[in-house]
Amino acid sequence: MAEVQEETTELVDELARLLEERRWNQARETVADLPEQDIAELLLELEKAQRIFLFKLLPRSQANEVFAYLTPEHQDALLQDMTDDETREILAGLTPDDRTALFQELPAPATQRLMELLPLGERRRAQQLLGYPEESVGRLMTPEYISVRPDWTIEQSLTHIRAQKERGETVNVIHVTDNRGRLLDVLSIRRFILAEPDDTVDALMDHHYISISAFEDREKAVELVQHYDLSALPVVDSEGVLLGIVTLDDVMDVAEAEATEDFHKLGSVGGTGTISLREAKPILLYQRRVGWLVMLVFVNIFSGMAIATFEETIEAVMALLFFLPLIIASGGNAGTQSATLMVRAMATGDVRSSDWLKLWGKELGVALALGITMAAAVWGLGVWRGGLDVGYVVAIAMLSIVLMGSMFGMLLPIILDKFKLDPATASAPLVTTLADVGGILIYFSIATAFFSLPEVG
C-alpha cells in the first residue's frame, strides 16, 4: 500500500512539473495508458489550474470516461472553467444515468444552464429521469439497453445486437420485449452465442426474470442485484413496459453510499454528501457533528440527576464511585455492539423487524452469557476494593446493566423501523447515552437495596 502511494505521489509530481513547463505532449503521454479511474484520482491530486490543463489535454473519448469517475462537485468545477462547446461535448459523452447523477447534485440554476446545452431529445430524456422521486430507481437507471423480439431468429438477434452495441450500456444480458415494449424475459448473451442461428429467441425463453419498478427505492435495487447475483436489473412501469436498466456499477455506487450514510448515522455524524472527508471543509464537518453532540449534552444531564438522587448511598459507600465508570461504560459498549450488528443486518436484508421475537430470545441468551462473564471478572475487583458486599453489588449490577444495554441496542433499531424511521439512527452515542442513564439508575438502585439504605425522594 505504501509503495502504491509513493508511486502515485511521484506520478503527480512528474505531471505537475510537465504541466508547469508546458510540455503538453509529454504530460498527455504520461497518462495515456492509465485506466480512466486512475487518471480521475490523479486529477484530484493536482492543483486546480493544472487539473484543468491535464483534463483538456486528454483525447475526447478518454476525457468523457474520466469525467464520469469524478464526483459531482469536481465535475461542476471542471465545467465552470470550460466553454459552452466543450461542456456540450462532455455532456453528450456521458451516459444518461451518469448525467442524471450530475444534475441532481447541482444547484437548480447550474442544472438549468447545463440542460440548455443539450440537444432537445437528450434534454427531454434528462428531464424525464429527473422527474422520478429522489432516491428512486428511476433516477438510477439508464434508458439505453438492447432488446430483441421473441419471433426473431438468433442470427437476426445477433446482427441487431452488433448494430446496437454502442447504444446499450451492457451486452451481458439481452432483454426480450413485445411490440409494445413490455418485458417478456431476460437472457444472457451466452445463450445467444451457443444457440443455432435458425432457432428463434422464443425457444430460449423460460420467462424467469427479476425486475423492479422505477418508483421503488434504490436500496431495493441493491438488495435484488446482490440476492440474485445480477449484472443488470431491468426497470419497468406499472404495465410491465421496459423503461431502462440498472447496471452493476451503479448498484455498487449506491451500496457504498448507503453504507457510508449508515456509518455516519451510527456515529451521530450528518452525511457529507459526495464530498470526501479529505476534501470536506472544517465548517461542514462542524455542522454535521455539532447537532447530535449538543443534544446529547442535554440528555446526559439526566445522568447527573440520577447520580444526585443517590447521594446518601454514595456517601455511605464511597467505593461504589470507583466502579461507576467501569460498569456504566460496559452497558454502553454492550448496547453499541448489539445496535451495530442489528443495524447492519437490517441494512443488508439479513433480518427484518418482524423477526424481533426470535432475535430477542437469541440476544437475551448472548447478553446473559456476556453479563455473567463480565460480572465474574468485576466481582474480584469489587471484593479487593470494598469488601465482599461491594463485590456482590458490582457483579449483580454488571450483569443487569449488560443485559439492559444489549436489549436496548437490539430493540431500538427495530422500534425505529416500525415507525418508518431509519434504523441507523440508533447511533452509538445515542445508545451509549441512554444506556448510561439507565445504568446509573440500575447500579445505585441495586446498591441502595443491598445496603438497606432508604432511597432519597
156 vs 77: which has the higher pLDDT: 156
C-alpha 373 chain-centroid distance? 35
345 vs 221: which has the higher pLDDT: 221
Q: For residue 100, what is its C-alpha cell?
A: 442524471
CA distance 162 to 427: 51
CA distance 203 to 286: 61
CA distance 432 to 434: 6
C-alpha 175 chain-centroid distance? 29
pLDDT at 261: 67
Please, what sign has the CA dihedral across residues 369, 371, 372, 373? positive
Most confident listed range (36-50, 396-410, 414-428): 396-410
Q: For residue 57, what is its C-alpha cell?
A: 489535454
- What's the whole-number mean pLDDT along residues 157-179? 86
pLDDT at 273: 52
Look-up of cell digits 437548480 = 108
pTM to 2 decimals? 0.63
pLDDT at 398: 94
138 vs 347: which has the higher pLDDT: 138
Residue 142: how many CB atoms within 10 A of its CB?
22
CA distance 28 to 137: 38
Q: Residue 134: what are its φ and ψ, rounded to 5°?
A: -60, 145
Q: Are 211 and 177 in contact (CB under 8 A)?
A: no
353 vs 442: which has the higher pLDDT: 442
pLDDT above 90 for 195: yes
Q: How is the chain split among helix, strand and coil, in percent rounded to 5?
A: 70, 5, 25
Q: Contacts for 47-51 with beta carbons within 8 Å, 24 or more apart?
A: 47/16, 48/77, 50/15, 50/16, 50/19, 50/20, 51/78
Q: Which of 89, 90, 101, 93 is nearest to 126 (CA)?
A: 101
Q: What are the chain's domains?
A: 2-132 (1.25.60.10), 147-254 (3.10.580.10), 282-450 (1.10.357.20)
Least confident of 171-175, 335-339, 366-370: 335-339
pLDDT digits (tens, 9 = 90+) for 210-253: 999 999 998 899 889 988 999 899 999 999 999 999 988 888 88
219-255 as b/e: b if 16+ CB within 10 A = bebbbbbeeeebebbbbbeeeeebbbbbbeebbebbb
The DSSP 8-state label assigned to residue 355 in this structure reads: G
pLDDT at 108: 83
Residue 354: how many CB atoms within 10 A of its CB?
11
Q: Are 240 and 263 in contact (CB under 8 A)?
A: no
- Identity at 52, one-letter amino acid code: I
Instruction: Please provide the size of the chain in residues.
Output: 457
What is the percent of the chain where pLDDT is above 70? 87
Least confident of 2-11, 197-206, 269-278, 340-349: 269-278
CA distance 55 to 20: 15
pLDDT at 271: 52
CA distance 266 to 271: 11
pLDDT above 80 for 10: yes
Q: Which of 123, 95, 130 is nearest to 114 (CA)?
A: 123
pLDDT grade for 57, boundaries at 50, 70 and 90: confident
Most confident listed range (52-56, 330-334, 370-374): 370-374
Start-end of H helices in 168-310:
189-194, 218-228, 248-266, 282-309
Q: Residue 86: what are its φ and ψ, rounded to 5°?
A: -65, -40
Q: What is the mean pLDDT of the chain?
A: 84
pLDDT digits (tens, 9 = 90+) for 271-320: 545 555 566 677 766 776 676 667 767 766 777 777 778 877 777 677 78
pLDDT at 457: 40
pLDDT above 50 for 199: yes
CA distance 200 to 151: 6
Q: For residue 126, what is its C-alpha cell?
A: 434528462
pLDDT above 90 for 11: no
Start-end of H helices in 348-387:
356-386
What is the percent of the chain where pLDDT is above 90? 27
C-alpha 4 chain-centroid distance? 26
